[in-house]
Amino acid sequence: MARQPSRDEEGQPAGNHCGDGGEATIYIPREATSQAQKQTASSAASFAQSTSRGDCTRWVRMAIPLQGKDGKGGQVGGDDQPSVAAELRALWGMAAPITALNCVVYLRALVSVLCLGRLGPLDLAGGALAIGLTNITGHSVLFGLASGLEPLCAQAFGSRNHDLLTLSLQRAMLLLFLAALPIALLWLNVGPILVALGQDPAISAPAAAYARFALPDLAASVVLQPLRVYLRSQGITRPMAACSAIAVALHVPLNVLLVFGLGFGVRGVAAAQALTNTNMLLFLLAYIRWARACDDTWKGWARPAVVASGLPGLARLAVPSCVGVCLEWWWYEVVTVLAGYLPNPAAAVGAAGVLIQTTSLMYTVPMALAACVSTRVGNELGAGKPRRARMAAMVALACALAIGVVHVAWTVALSRQWVELFTTERSVVRLAAAAMPILGLCELGNCPQTTGCGVLRGTARPAVGARINLLSFYLVGTPVAVYLAFGARAGFSGLWYGLLSAQATCVALVLAAVVWRTDWQVEALRAKKLAGLELTSTTPAAAAAEESKRLVAANGEPAEGV
């Protein structure tokens, strides 16, 4: 018998197998457990004493078809096999607005850099340094932590557990608030830290000013990032894109007013970024209130003790998600640092900047695809439909591969023309144009691996993605990049061959985890636990036994010959 969790005053803990041998505890309020489940507890316990393992397995197969093992393709609970066209419509109905949102956010960053470029070389250097620093230490951390909310929200919405959906949003905001406190302390002391690390004080001063005025941006992200996941899990994506587009349309006049009109300089760039992020949040909240978009799923503010009780369980999903995101994002900063040690470092760093801007733009599509397939997979698993979840994953991976092929084609055909849009410096153009086809090949691997990581998040296995990123980027990619760039004297292109080796390793491991090592039946059982239903065991066999008890208690003894 599986160990039953104890109940406390505030809620009922339900175990969650995280896919890495650990067990996360998600605290579910009492009202999230239905009265019908309580009534079946005694009959389930008596049935457990007389039911063999074979009978358990047989009943679970009745409940959820085994992918690749049920020759008849039998369905229970509406888990029919959807058409590819239907899944494409569902996926891109969500992904297209999110792609537009990502492009809009990219344009916001581009406008800020253009404004910095008109302030002079010291302000440009200090502002660029501060943007990189705030991205590494702040925005990547909050984005990664919010990604851990994806399986909870998606599976809770799919299983119609709106109490857990509401609680998860509130817990995520609390978690991000706690994470933002040390980040804010760091940003307040950026100037002395940079000087202590040997940075030129003339560059450290504008960097410190930018970081201080970016603190409201950090505060807005504490609410905005979890809110986006909450809305996306319900398929509400077009309003997010529209609100972001309006906010970024106001970003240009805000920059002109604050940076040049009021003469705030670097501080004005940071303040404009913060105001734009705040506008995105306010527009979204206004839409939710005006359109009553979440009336059915929002269950009101919970007591602080109830919210805080679920933080450990959420953290076990959020921290691996954060680690996986940060490991990949930070690697590009490693490339920039390494480029500074090459011959003609100014040209190498400039070329690295062009390529990083390019890959950031290309990343908008697979990032949207990953976020939406995470939602699609989570929704279907939460609804107890593993066949549909598998279809969503496979369709998304096929789309990602096609997008990667497109990136290869245009980076090869238009490499020099694209680089010349950023700069006319001949040495920079030569280095960047030579590496553009390599960058395209990297995207051929990056698109499927990013999407595959979205599938892993949707199945509540972010720790798998984090381990893969650590191995691929730091144990494979970095040594290869260093050896080729400096040992083999391949120079600037060697750094990007290192990225190519990292992406090749990453996509192979992610596809192995998603395509060949995912048991969709077991993931559906785990989703029931995560969404607050009655399963408490963490092993597949024990989970199957517990599910069979529930089925028999609800439906009676199995018919002969089933």
For residues 294 and 196, state if they share a domain: yes
For residues 158 and 196, state if they share a domain: yes
- What is the per-residue pLDDT for 345? 85
Q: Are 463 and 383 spatial neighbours (Cβ–Cβ below 8 Å)?
A: no
Band (pLDDT 50/70/90 cuts) for residue 81 is low
For residues 302 and 353, state if they share a domain: no
Write the DSSP string, 455-495: HHHHTT-HHHHHHHHIIIIIIIIHHHHHIIIIIS--THHHH
Question: In terms of C-beta distances under 8 Å and separation of at least 24 residues, what long-range contacts does 431-437 make, across chains too?
Answer: 431/347, 431/348, 431/351, 431/492, 431/493, 432/350, 432/351, 432/354, 432/355, 434/492, 434/493, 435/351, 435/355, 435/492, 435/493, 435/495, 435/496, 436/355, 436/358, 436/411, 436/412, 437/408, 437/411, 437/412
Are β-strands 11-17 and 23-29 bridged in parallel, bridged antiparallel, or unpaired? antiparallel
- What is the per-residue pLDDT for 422? 82
Spatial separation of the C-alpha atoms in residues 279 and 254, rounded to whole Å: 11
For residues 458 and 491, state if they share a domain: yes
For residues 178 and 259, state if they share a domain: yes
Helix, strand, coil % over all residues of the chain, rounded to 5: 75, 0, 20
Band (pLDDT 50/70/90 cuts) for residue 76 is very low
Whether residue 60 has pLDDT greater than 70: no
For residues 394 and 430, state if they share a domain: yes
Higher-pLDDT residue of 25 and 282 is 282
| Average pLDDT of the segment spanning 529-535 | 59
- The verdict on residue 232 lying in a domain is yes
- What is the per-residue pLDDT for 496? 95
- The verdict on residue 260 lying in a domain is yes
For residues 548 and 495, state if they share a domain: no
Q: What is the dihedral of CA 167, 169, 171, 176, to 10 degrees?
A: 180
For residues 182 and 280, state if they share a domain: yes
Structural domains in the chain (count): 3
Spatial separation of the C-alpha atoms in residues 349 and 314, rounded to whole Å: 39
Q: Are 246 and 184 spatial neighbours (Cβ–Cβ below 8 Å)?
A: no
Spatial separation of the C-alpha atoms in residues 259 and 266, rounded to whole Å: 7
3-state SS of 488-540 is CCCCHHHHHHHHHHHHHHHHHHHHHHHHHCCCHHHHHHHHHHHCCCCCCCCCH
Residue 37: which domain range? 11-67+538-554
Spatial separation of the C-alpha atoms in residues 301 and 365, rounded to whole Å: 34
- What is the per-residue pLDDT for 534? 35
For residue 22, the Cα-to-chain-centroid distance in whole angstroms is 21
- Tell me how long the chain is: 562
Q: Could you read off the pLDDT of 98-146 as tens digits, one per residue?
A: 999 999 888 888 888 888 878 877 888 888 888 888 988 999 999 999 9
- The verdict on residue 125 lying in a domain is yes
End-to-end CA distance of the chain: 25
- What is the per-residue pLDDT for 78? 52
Residue type, 285: L
Q: What phi, psi does 12 have (nearest 5°)? A: -115, 115
Spatial separation of the C-alpha atoms in residues 381 and 402, rounded to whole Å: 26
Band (pLDDT 50/70/90 cuts) for residue 328 is confident
| Average pLDDT of the segment spanning 260-267 | 91
- The verdict on residue 144 lying in a domain is yes
Spatial separation of the C-alpha atoms in residues 319 and 285, rounded to whole Å: 27
- What is the per-residue pLDDT for 105? 87
For residues 451 and 391, state if they share a domain: yes
For residues 302 and 161, state if they share a domain: yes
Spatial separation of the C-alpha atoms in residues 366 and 98, rounded to whole Å: 10
Q: Could you read off the pLDDT of 398-456 as tens digits, one per residue?
A: 999 999 999 999 999 999 999 988 888 888 899 999 999 999 999 999 999 999 999 99
3-state secondary structure of 394: helix
Q: pTM (2 decimals)?
A: 0.76
Q: What phi, psi does 293 have (nearest 5°)? A: -70, -25
| Average pLDDT of the segment spanning 329-339 | 87
- The verdict on residue 217 lying in a domain is yes
- The verdict on residue 353 lying in a domain is yes
- The verdict on residue 342 lying in a domain is no
Q: Could you read off the pLDDT of 482-519 as tens digits, one per residue?
A: 999 999 989 999 999 999 999 999 999 999 998 888 99
- The verdict on residue 187 lying in a domain is yes
Lowest mean pLDDT among 51-55, 308-312, 520-524: 51-55
Higher-pLDDT residue of 276 and 9 is 276
- What is the per-residue pLDDT for 308? 92
| Average pLDDT of the segment spanning 329-337 | 86
For residues 199 and 235, state if they share a domain: yes
For residues 354 and 469, state if they share a domain: yes
- What is the per-residue pLDDT for 532? 65
Question: In terms of C-beta distances under 8 Å and separation of at least 24 residues, what long-range contacts does 226-230 make, across chains too?
Answer: 226/146, 226/149, 226/169, 226/172, 226/173, 226/176, 227/169, 227/281, 227/284, 227/285, 228/146, 229/146, 229/147, 229/149, 229/150, 229/153, 229/169, 229/172, 230/149, 230/153, 230/165, 230/168, 230/169, 230/294
Band (pLDDT 50/70/90 cuts) for residue 351 is confident
DSSP letter, residue 17:
E
Beta bridge partners of 26: 14
- What is the per-residue pLDDT for 6? 39
- 104, 240, 528 from 282: Cα distances, Å: 17, 11, 34
